[in-house]
């Protein structure tokens, strides 16, 4: 399993995000993945290597065609980490709300 450093590094580039978005709809050969991107093939292959290191994609060769597919585990790990932070954050806001409600109540009592 790739670590979070390389998982998130995989997402920090528009070409790599485009490849992930394309593969989310199904596997594709490298030539088809590269076609929409205005760059030399070696540069594009470097992006695929970064995605492979981040556990986002895997590829296999059949004859002369290399086909890539998405591995959903990387997305799960990324969403999992973000979800944890959201829980912390929302827990904090809930406690803040509760605190403010207490203050309001006290002030209300003092008014009466």
CA distance 68 to 18: 13
Q: How many CB atoms lie within 10 A of CB 19?
A: 27
Taking CB under 8 A as the criterion, the residue among 39, 41, 82, 101 binding its own copies is 82
Taking CB under 8 A as the criterion, the residue among 35, 36, 89, 99 binding its own copies is 89
What is the smallest separation between the CB atom of 70 and its own copies, expressed in angstroms? 7
CA distance 57 to 73: 10
Per-position x/- string for 18-37, each x denoting binding to its own copies as judged by CB under 8 A, each - no binding: --xx--xxx-----------
Alpha carbons within 13 A on the beta-carbon side of 5: 0
Task: List residues near its own copies by CB under 8 A.
Answer: 4-6, 8-9, 11-14, 17, 20-21, 24-26, 70, 72, 75, 78-79, 81-86, 88-89, 92
């Amino acid at each position: 399993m790739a670590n979070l450093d390389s998982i998130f590094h995989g997402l920090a580039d528009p070409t790599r995000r485009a490849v992930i978005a394309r593969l989310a709809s199904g596997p594709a050969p490298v030539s088809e993945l590269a076609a929409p991107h205005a760059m030399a093939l070696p540069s594009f292959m470097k992006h695929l290597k970064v995605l492979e290191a981040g556990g986002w994609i895997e590829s296999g060769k059949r004859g002369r065609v290399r086909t890539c597919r998405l591995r959903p585990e990387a997305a799960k790990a990324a969403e999992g980490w973000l979800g944890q932070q959201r829980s912390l954050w929302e827990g904090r806001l809930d406690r803040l709300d509760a605190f403010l409600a207490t203050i309001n109540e006290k002030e209300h009592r003092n008014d009466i």
